[in-house]
Amino acid sequence: MSVHKVLAKIGLRKIRDYWKRFLAIIAIGTIAVTLFVGLMANAENFSGRVEQTFDNGNMADLWVTTLSHDKRDENAIKEIVKEKGEVESRFEIMGQAGHHSVYVSITDGEPAISHPFDLQKSPSDSEDYFVRIDETLGTASEGDTPANTYALGGDLSLTIDMSTFTARSSWLSDLLGLDRFYEDEKNPLKAKNLELDFKITALMKFPENIAKSAYNNSTVLISDKAFHKAFDNMLYWNMKEGVPEEERLSEMALIHEILTEASLFQGDGTLEYGGRLLCPNQYLIKLNKGEDSSLIKNDVNSYFKSKSANNLLSTNDRSDMPFVITVHNDVEQARNFTFLFPFVFFLVAVLVILTTTSQIILKERQQIGTMKALGLKRSEIMSLYVLITLAVVGIGTLLGEIIGPLLIPWIMDKKYAIIYTLPKLGYVFPWLFGLMTALGFLLIAGGVTYLIARKEISLKPCESMRPRPMIMKSHSAKIRPKKGGIIFLSFKMAFRNMRKDIVKSIMVIIGILGCTALLVCGFGIEDTINYGIKHDMDYGNSQDISLTFSSLKTKEEVKDDLMAIEGIESFEMYTRSTSTIDYEEGHAVDSFIFILGNVGKETHMKYVPDMPIDQVAISYKISEDTGAKAGDNVTFTYSNRTYEAKVYEVYEAFFYNGIIVYGDSPVLGDWGKGYLGANIDIAKGHSQEEIRDKLLNLPYAIQAQTQNDWARSISDVMGGILIMTTAVKVFAILLANTVLFNLALMNFQDRTRDMATLKVLGFNKGEIAFPLIFEMMVLVSIGVIMGLFAGIPFHQGVLALNKVELVHYIYHIDPLSFILSFVLTFVVALLVNTFYSFQSDKIKMVESLKSVE
Amino acid sequence: MEQITVSHLSKIYNQGQDNEVRALDDVSFTLNEGEFVIILGASGAGKSTLLNLLGGMDNCTSGEYIVGGEDIAKYKPSKLSLFRRRDIGFVFQFYNLMPNLTALENIELAASVAKDPFDAKEILKRVGLEKRANNFPSQLSGGEQQRVAIARAIVKNPKLLLCDEPTGALDSKTGASIIELLNEVATEYKKTVIIVTHNSQISECAQRLIRIRDGKIANNEIIENPLKPSEVKW
């Protein structure tokens, strides 16, 4: 039999002999690699599914939206795009479907860009006649009250704000002249909102609806023919009561004639580009692969700027679209999470492998000497130990590489599936990352084994076959050991063991430190998010219900409606809108403006109760991004106007980042005081849910959020990071337990002979266990204490790497999290060590003591 | 005075199986207080098994083992532990000192659990190592380590001192000195000493010599005029 075969046999038998320790290495390796590769697989998987959703619907690369229709625009855009892609147009408008805000997208037939897919059609759905809603429209997020449910073939009532129709007066005047219609608000065309009824022809998936309707304004896709029919019906059924059917029909014919003459609608319902009603107001550009959307965007913007009457509202590429920002934010978080956090796992795993391997090799000292004495080459002996480590670490790595990409994306998908409509979860293996992880892990493990084994293998056979000398300084003659009982001697034994194996002791400390820090960090992230939500609920969201209007309202306009609802005690007008805040040129940031109807302590936003009426407050996030501080002058935009004001204070907020200004502030000048919402306080004896439902019945109410609704929606936004944190916490607990079991096992096995000696001397279980437990717990205590401290900067580092656009983390770790981290390491360590240390029953005194020391 | 009675003691491994081994087969003998006993036998004869049973480190399959009127063979593990703690002093071939305790501390450790121990320093002095009190085992020679082991066994003031090949890892000169020391402390402290060995030269010092062969007692004789260890040709 060749040397290599013999060595292979020895190797396999050593794995069998040390199976418990090797099992621990395999478990630690599996946990670390599972998390490391699994999170990366999740990021790639999630990102891939998002892109696939966009590809399935051939989603546009650019959205050009205009304020009014100009027939020349489409040709100009086509001229800019030329061969670089395709251009398509549609009419898009905000609307309401029940309590859901929706984008109503009206197209001339089947769209080719940003088109629906996975359609569930009814027979009435065709290429030129369709009313398609997102398959998730009407389904509510967990705990939310479902306002409407929609089904294929069912009814869909849409409310469209008429104020968004351009130049309606010119054609409405013709219609209003018809005496079959009411002349007041009963006339549907004179009402503020256009109410249209449809039959749903298909449920669809739509690329722009990647976030489910409970989390995003979903798009309803309607063909212009279907829209026209609904419009006709609306007119038909809203004629004065008592008008006979023949007259209604003749009236409708007349209306069609008027509309046709006015070039608004044609008889067959197709869009007439020369008209002013439903002419396209949005151009979708789909570019060929490799084309730079920013160049096209610049050219489009230049075109509109060159026009004498610039009718451009916005040119957005994908990165500007809210639904893309949200999903990409989660993708980015998923990617960022792969680093730092699992990296620490990785380091802890390597450290434990190093400790375990070194202990095994030190135990092999005599065998190494024997093999050398038998004439085996150093390289052969080295290869034996390196290959054993590689085999064991390899198994752990392989298991991690298999389990990670299966388990982690599956866990994460539980959250993603709540928020997003994504293709079925597939198996994605991050090849490059996976291979690099495996190689890195194996190289480190092999390298560590080589370094440890080298020292032992380089000894002469006679040196190896002698016990390793214990290097300890003897006491000076004057120092006599104090008299003491077993406890005192046990302390001595424990401390000397720590000193003797100082490297092992340090590794144990670092291992425990890492596990504790991971736990503190994991718990801390959740604490920070919960603390942020609570902080904003206390200071930024102290009202019972927040009501959002469909259009600007003054206090006087809503006062009677609101106070007429029984249970409403008081209200404050407010506006939350986008704003560009700038401090010195070049530091502008896009954020939010909060215009408060009340002043000082009367306002529901209590971040800066003492703020003078003529000053503003900015959040820390804005201060960080712009560099502006208290006392500086900043500029901010609102409703196409720019204002300037002095910063009174920089306030700390989690979610409500932006600039706070009073509605009555002279800074805003004469701005009309039209607000977008009201903060409502309810009287005692009324539930928030009851008042919310009443508020939603107001014709101009878009959304009414109770405090719970708000906290839930923020939790949903933060759901991605929270579920990752949970996964990491679970893995940190697993790792900590495995590490602790491994260390306890190692300690137990290393001390077998000492325990057997004590047993022979007649020590009882407790007396035998005490020094072992004491030794381990001293090291664990040091590790835990250091870990609790190290967890704080680690937690901040992880959050700093996982910045979310919308929020500013107010770092906070609850005392309970420190206690939990302590319990999960210190107490578990104590239990595990106690368990092992009391296993002295299983030590066979005779066998343990017969062997050569 | 009769101190130890062993009657029909047997230890069978893998009983009832194909590979059944009768390590000790129906062994009976009695020992008197203060006797210096050598159990002699070849490797595999069963002498260590007998020592383990006498030391309460293992349970017998059948038979009786009476010490001070108590049948140790019927003891449960917890009582056996107490028996080892109070009545037994062990000396091993490979010393088995606690590596992280000094010579004196090793002795103090044993004393700390004994019921009525001797003074550790005095015992250390008795074994001639008072100057090495603060040295760790790794700083002592084999002979010195074995002396510490003997001191550790004696300090407990046990009824029985059991030595398993105490000279097995030592050169002949050092081995002789260890036997001499054991002989002296047995006489001085009036302890019954049982030495298990395959070294027939040691048997010349025995007051009682028990020969074991194939798990059975081949011979149990009282030596009227044993040699002093210094008189033995090693």
Phi, psi of A475 (to 5 degrees): -70, 155
Residue A146's pLDDT is 42
Is pLDDT at A370 greater than 70 in this prediction?
yes
Please give the structure tokens belonging to residue B87.
Answer: 């009545």
In the block, residue with structure tokens 């060749």? A2
Q: Identify the DSSP state of A658.
A: S
**What is the per-residue burial (b if ≥16 Cβ within 10 Å, else e) of B117-132?**
bbebbebbebbebeeb
Task: Report yes or no: A523 and A817 within 8 Å, Cβ to Cβ.
Answer: yes
Is pLDDT at A62 greater than 90 in this prediction?
yes
| Contacts of B186 by beta carbon, 8 Å cutoff, 6+ apart | B34, B36, B161, B192, B193
Of the partner residues B83, B105, B138, the one whose CB lies closest to the CB of residue A489: B105
User: In chain A, which residues have their Cβ closer than 8 Å to the Cβ of B101?
Assistant: 489, 492-493, 496
Cβ neighbourhood burial of A320 (10 Å; 0-12, 13-18, 19+): middle
Is pLDDT at A384 greater than 70 in this prediction?
yes
Residues B179-204 have a mean pLDDT of 84
Residues B91-120 have a mean pLDDT of 84
Percent of chain B with pLDDT over 70: 99
Cβ neighbourhood burial of B59 (10 Å; 0-12, 13-18, 19+): middle
Nearest residue to A397 (alpha-carbon basis) of A443, A354, A449, A334: A443
User: Under the phi-then-psi rule, with left for phi > 0, alpha for psi from -120 to 50, and beta for the rest, what region is A220?
Assistant: beta
- Total-model pTM: 0.70
Amino acid at A104: V
User: In chain B, which residues have their Cβ closer than 8 Å to the Cβ of A366?
Assistant: none
Is pLDDT at A483 greater than 70 in this prediction?
no
Residues A201-208 have a mean pLDDT of 92
Residue A652's pLDDT is 92
Among A33-42, A355-364, A462-471, name the most confident range. Answer: A33-42
Is pLDDT at A466 greater than 90 in this prediction?
no
pLDDT-based confidence at residue A705 (cuts at 50, 70, 90): confident
Which residues of A fall below an 8 Å CB-CB distance to B?
467, 469-472, 474-477, 479-481, 483-486, 489, 492-493, 496-497, 500, 753-754, 756-764, 767, 841, 845-846, 849-853
Task: Report yes or no: A172 and A203 within 8 Å, Cβ to Cβ.
Answer: no
| Contacts of B119 by beta carbon, 8 Å cutoff, 6+ apart | B155
**pLDDT tens for each residue of A301-335:** 999 989 888 888 788 888 878 788 878 878 887 88
H-only helix segments in A501-580: 502-539, 555-564
CB contact under 8 A, A470 and B105: no
- Rounded to whole angstroms, how far apart are CA atoms A380 and A827? 43
Is pLDDT at A264 greater than 50 in this prediction?
no
User: Measured between alpha carbons, how far is residue B156 from residues A324, B89, B160 in Å?
Assistant: 80, 7, 10
Quick one: closest CA in B to A771, which residue? B100
- Rounded to whole angstroms, how far apart are CA atoms A253 and A417? 49
Rounded to 10 deg, the angle between the A707-717 and A719-750 helix axes is 60
Residues B6-23 have a mean pLDDT of 87
Q: How many CB atoms lie within 10 A of CB A804?
A: 18
- Rounded to whole angstroms, how far apart are CA atoms A656 and A504? 49
Residue B186's pLDDT is 80
Amino acid at A637: T
Output helix, strand, coil percentages for chain B, rounded to the nearest 5: 35, 30, 35
User: Measured between alpha carbons, how far is residue A339 from residues A428, A694, A796, A799, B44 in Å?
Assistant: 18, 48, 14, 12, 61
Q: How many CB atoms lie within 10 A of CB A189?
A: 19
Amino acid at A620: Y
**pLDDT tens for each residue of A530-540:** 899 889 888 88
Q: With the C-alpha atoms ordered B169, B171, B172, B175, is the resulting torsion angle positive or negative?
A: negative
Top-confidence residue, A254 or B52: B52
Nearest residue to A420 (alpha-carbon basis) of A506, A326, A355: A326
**pLDDT tens for each residue of A138-148:** 665 444 444 44
Residue A265's pLDDT is 36
Cβ neighbourhood burial of A122 (10 Å; 0-12, 13-18, 19+): middle
**pLDDT tens for each residue of A775-801:** 888 999 999 999 999 999 988 988 887
Is pLDDT at A283 greater than 80 in this prediction?
yes
Nearest residue to A616 (alpha-carbon basis) of A679, A663, A547, A561: A663
- Rounded to whole angstroms, how far apart are CA atoms A62 and A658? 27
- Rounded to whole angstroms, how far apart are CA atoms A474 and A476? 6
DSSP states of A695-756 as a string?
Answer: HHTSTTEEEEEEHHHHHHHHHHHTHHHHHHHHHHHHHHHHHHHHHHHHHHHHHHHHTHHHHH
Residues B169-183 have a mean pLDDT of 80
Quick one: closest CA in B to A467, which residue? B138
| Contacts of B205 by beta carbon, 8 Å cutoff, 6+ apart | B36, B38, B179, B183, B226, B227, B228, B229, B232
CB contact under 8 A, B96 and A853: yes
Quick one: closest CA in B to A754, which residue? B98
Residue A572's pLDDT is 92
User: Measured between alpha carbons, how far is residue B68 from residues B6, B30, B31, B71 in Å?
Assistant: 12, 12, 11, 9
Residues A345-371 have a mean pLDDT of 78
Give bridge partners of residue A679 from the DSSP assignment: A546, A572
Top-confidence residue, A463 or A15: A15
How confident is the prediction for chain A on average, in pLDDT? 81
Residue A51's pLDDT is 92
Q: How many CB atoms lie within 10 A of CB A309?
A: 8
Residues A169-193 have a mean pLDDT of 59
Residues A766-773 have a mean pLDDT of 84
Top-confidence residue, A843 or A76: A76
- Rounded to whole angstroms, how far apart are CA atoms A267 and A17? 88
Top-confidence residue, B226 or A607: A607
DSSP states of A331-374 as a string?
Answer: HHHHHHHTSSHHHHHHHHHHHHHHHHHHHHHHHTHHHHHHHHHT
Residues A545-556 have a mean pLDDT of 83
Residue A178's pLDDT is 61
Task: Report yes or no: A43 and A338 within 8 Å, Cβ to Cβ.
Answer: yes
User: In chain B, which residues have their Cβ closer than 8 Å to the Cβ of A767?
Assistant: 113
Which of B57, B94, B100 would best serve as a mutation to test chain A binding (most A beta carbons within 10 A)?
Answer: B100
State how far residue A495 is from chain B, nearest Cα, in angstroms.
9
- How many helices, marked H, and strands, marked E, lie in chain A? 25, 20
User: In chain A, which residues have their Cβ closer than 8 Å to the Cβ of B85?
Assistant: 761-764
Is pLDDT at A276 greater than 50 in this prediction?
no
Percent of chain A with pLDDT over 70: 87
Is pLDDT at A168 greater than 50 in this prediction?
no
Please give the structure tokens belonging to residue A559.
Answer: 């006062």
CB contact under 8 A, B139 and A475: no
Is pLDDT at A368 greater than 80 in this prediction?
yes
Q: Identify the DSSP state of A101.
A: E
**What is the per-residue burial (b if ≥16 Cβ within 10 Å, else e) of A751-769?**
bbbbbbbbbbbbbebebbb
CB contact under 8 A, A489 and B108: yes
Is pLDDT at B69 greater than 70 in this prediction?
yes
Residues A628-633 have a mean pLDDT of 91
User: Under the phi-then-psi rule, with left for phi > 0, alpha for psi from -120 to 50, and beta for the rest, what region is A82?
Assistant: left
Amino acid at A439: L
Residues A287-311 have a mean pLDDT of 89
Output helix, strand, coil percentages for chain A, rounded to the nearest 5: 55, 15, 30
Residue B28 Cα to chain centre, angstroms? 18
Is pLDDT at A513 greater than 60 in this prediction?
yes
Residue A432 Cα to chain centre, angstroms? 24
User: Measured between alpha carbons, how far is residue A759 from residues A471, A496, A737, B85 in Å?
Assistant: 26, 20, 28, 9
Residue A171's pLDDT is 53
User: In chain B, which residues have their Cβ closer than 8 Å to the Cβ of A362?
Assistant: none
Is pLDDT at A156 greater than 50 in this prediction?
yes
Of the partner residues A469, A471, A846, the one whose CB lies closest to the CB of residue B58: A846
Percent of chain A with pLDDT over 90: 21
State how far residue B168 is from chain A, nearest Cα, in angstroms.
11
| Contacts of A270 by beta carbon, 8 Å cutoff, 6+ apart | A108, A224, A225
User: In chain B, which residues have their Cβ closer than 8 Å to the Cβ of A473?
Assistant: none
Residue A272's pLDDT is 44
Residue A790's pLDDT is 93
pLDDT-based confidence at residue A494 (cuts at 50, 70, 90): confident
Residues B14-29 have a mean pLDDT of 86
Which residues of B fall below an 8 Å CB-CB distance to A?
48, 52, 55, 57-58, 77-78, 81-86, 88, 90, 92-102, 104-105, 108-110, 112-114, 133-139, 152, 156
Pairing of strands A675-682, A568-582: antiparallel
Which of B47, B59, B112 would best serve as a mutation to test chain A binding (most A beta carbons within 10 A)?
Answer: B112
Rg from Cα positions in chain B: 17
Task: Report yes or no: B98 and B169 within 8 Å, Cβ to Cβ.
Answer: no
Residue A688's pLDDT is 87
Residue A702's pLDDT is 75
Length of chain B: 234
pLDDT-based confidence at residue A661 (cuts at 50, 70, 90): very high
How confident is the prediction for chain B on average, in pLDDT? 85
Is pLDDT at A550 greater than 80 in this prediction?
no
Which of A760, A763, A853 would best serve as a mutation to test chain B binding (most B beta carbons within 10 A)?
Answer: A760
Is pLDDT at A57 greater than 70 in this prediction?
yes
